[in-house]
């Protein structure tokens, strides 16, 4: 048995879920804090949390690690990213700074399709090397579980290439990775004038082979004007559901299309973005089990409105935060930055933002039973930060306070 005693923790802060699969509404504020504690980890699982002085005397362990008075938090769960792609779009960033909009750039052949071109050209090995470097950086910023979508291949072979890279990363990297198929991210040039043909390709060829090779847990879709209509989205998502995929949607990002209501109707695990969700949409989501995932990095980066996360929490909804790391709308690995934006731009309290970045992120990946909080029986995914109180993490923004990362009971940073 492997064992680790993490002692001399100055302060600990974590959602208290007591095995609840998520924390909703006012319960999102259920953060517990403790001072001068130690955490005992056995075989990667948290088995005791108690006064450091007691545990230092009592625990019989293979390894001890001095937290030096730092603050311990659960590892972040970044439940929405597009981490595996080739190239970058710094040129579009410059164009937007000169006044072009995201939609204008996409209509002129940039956007998702420009990343598709770079990703199609990249080899498995190149994408693996890029992905590994990004995951290393995410880990240094405190993310210990990440969802990664395909969606920059847009033909069967290239989508499979991305998913196989994700699969290899999940076998070789300490990060816990949840793979999502996003073949319906945009219409590739070959199907520019045959949208129906691409929807059929996704339904009849891509989804079955992704399932057969067991390369994704979730199926996601970009439901939006000029991308996938409500009708196409429903067809693709229903096909995915019948094959056994769980569902996610890019919903209401650029317009109030009703995508979030579609997600709720189909029992999606999460609806993500929500920049344009109406008050009616807020009610529909909050009354359901579907998690509302806010991606404030995309609002900041594209200068778009922020999603109505305050309203969602006020009417009892379940809110998660994620980076949406991708080359076009949110180029960041930093979950603490999302927490800062949540508190400054959407009036979420630091307590709510912490729950949204940990336990509810895990819930958005159907993993809250095993991770997302520092509680007995959970995976020991623990951050040690050079701050005295967890508020300082989002308060002192734009820098990295994470000093050590413990993943499944092993010190990896």
Under the binding rule (CB under 6 A), the answer on residue 328 touching ligand NIG is: yes
Least separation, in Å, of the C-beta of 111 and ligand NIG?
5
Q: Which 8-state DSSP code applies to residue 362? A: H
Residue selected from 147, 324, 375, 381 as contacting ligand NIG according to rule CB under 6 A? 324
71 sits near ligand NIG (criterion: CB under 6 A):
no
- Could you say which of 112, 177, 259, 286 contacts ligand NIG (CB under 6 A)? 112
Residue 187 beta carbon to ligand NIG: minimum distance, rounded to whole angstroms? 13
Interface with ligand NIG includes 298 (CB under 6 A)?
A: yes
Tell which one of 258, 327, 350, 361 touches ligand NIG (CB under 6 A).
Answer: 327
* CA–CA distances in Å: residue 33 to residues 72, 97, 369, 380, 386: 10, 42, 20, 17, 16
Residue 324 contacts Fe ion per CB under 5 A: yes
- Judged by CB, which is closer to ligand NIG: 145, or 329? 329
Regarding 78 and contact with Fe ion (CB under 5 A), the answer is no
Q: Does the footprint of ligand NIG cover residue 150 (CB under 6 A)?
A: no
Q: How far apart are CB 257 and ligand NIG at their closest, in Å?
A: 12
Q: Which does 307 bind (CB under 5 to 8 A by kind): ligand NIG, Fe ion, none?
A: none
The Cα 187–Cα 184 span in angstroms is 7
Smallest separation, CB 208 to Fe ion (Å) = 24
250 belongs to the binding site for ligand NIG (CB under 6 A): yes
Candidates 9-17, 324-332, 345-353, 367-375; binding stretch for ligand NIG (CB under 6 A): 324-332
- The angle subtended at Cα 401 by Cα 399 and Cα 402, nearest 5°, is 125
96 binds, among Fe ion, ligand NIG, none (CB under 5 to 8 A by kind): none
In this structure, how many other beta carbons lie within 10 angstroms of the beta carbon of residue 4? 23
> What number of CA atoms fall less than 13 Å from residue 321's CA on the CB side?
34
How far apart CA 367 and CA 378 sit, in angstroms, is 10
Q: Applying CB under 6 A, which part among 108-116, 203-211, 344-352, 362-370 lies near ligand NIG?
A: 108-116
CA distances from residue 384 to 9, 30, 72, 407 in whole angstroms, order as listed: 8, 21, 5, 11
Q: In the chain, what's the furthest Cα-to-Cα distance?
A: 71
Contacts with 410 (C-beta within 8 Å, 6 or more apart), sequence order: 4, 44, 174
Residue range at the interface with Fe ion (CB under 5 A); choices 178-186, 197-205, 309-317, 321-329: 321-329
> Which contacts (CB < 8 Å, 24+ apart) does range 259-264 have?
259/223, 259/224, 259/230, 259/233, 260/284, 260/285, 260/290, 260/292, 262/223, 262/230, 262/233, 262/234, 262/237, 263/290, 264/288, 264/290
**Binding footprint of ligand NIG on the chain (CB under 6 A):** 111-112, 115, 222, 250, 253, 298, 324, 326-329
**Binding footprint of Fe ion on the chain (CB under 5 A):** 324
């Amino acid at each position: 048995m492997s064992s680790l005693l993490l002692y001399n923790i100055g302060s600990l802060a974590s959602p208290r879920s007591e095995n609840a699969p998520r924390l909703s509404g006012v319960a999102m504020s259920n953060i517990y804090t403790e001072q001068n504690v130690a955490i005992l980890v056995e075989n990667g699982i948290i088995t005791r949390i108690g006064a450091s002085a007691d545990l230092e005397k009592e625990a019989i362990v293979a390894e001890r690690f001095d937290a030096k008075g730092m603050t311990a938090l659960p590892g972040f769960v970044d439940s929405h990213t597009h981490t595996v792609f080739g190239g970058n779009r710094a040129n579009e960033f410059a164009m937007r700074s000169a006044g072009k909009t995201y939609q204008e750039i996409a209509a002129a052949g940039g956007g998702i399709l420009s990343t598709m071109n770079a990703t199609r050209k990249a080899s498995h090995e190149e994408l693996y090397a890029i992905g590994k470097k990004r995951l290393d950086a995410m880990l240094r910023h405190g993310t210990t579980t990440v969802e990664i979508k395909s969606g920059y291949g847009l033909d069967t072979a290239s989508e499979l290439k991305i998913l196989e890279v994700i699969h290899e990363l999940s076998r070789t990297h300490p990060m816990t990775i949840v793979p999502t198929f996003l073949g319906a991210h945009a219409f590739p040039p070959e199907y520019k004038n045959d949208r129906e043909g691409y929807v059929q390709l996704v339904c009849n060829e891509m989804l079955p082979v992704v399932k057969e090779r067991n390369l994704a847990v979730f199926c996601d879709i970009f439901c939006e004007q000029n991308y996938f209509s409500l009708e196409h989205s429903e067809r693709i998502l229903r096909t995915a559901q019948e094959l056994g995929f769980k569902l996610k949607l890019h919903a209401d990002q650029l317009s109030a299309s009703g995508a979030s209501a579609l997600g709720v109707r189909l029992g999606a695990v999460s609806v993500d973005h929500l920049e344009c969700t109406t008050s009616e949409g807020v009610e529909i989501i909050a009354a359901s089990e579907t998690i509302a995932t806010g991606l404030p990095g995309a609002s900041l980066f594209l200068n778009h409105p922020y999603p109505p996360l305050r309203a969602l929490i006020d009417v009892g909804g379940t809110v998660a935060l994620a980076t949406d790391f991708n080359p076009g709308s949110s180029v960041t690995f930093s979950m603490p930055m999302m927490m800062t934006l949540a508190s400054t731009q959407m009036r979420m309290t630091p307590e709510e933002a912490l729950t949204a970045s940990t336990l509810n992120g895990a819930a958005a990946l159907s993993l809250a039973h095993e991770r997302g909080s520092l509680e007995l029986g959970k995976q020991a995914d623990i951050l040690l930060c050079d701050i005295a109180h967890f508020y300082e993490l989002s308060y002192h923004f734009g820098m990295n306070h994470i000093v050590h990362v413990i993943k499944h009971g092993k010190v990896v940073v």
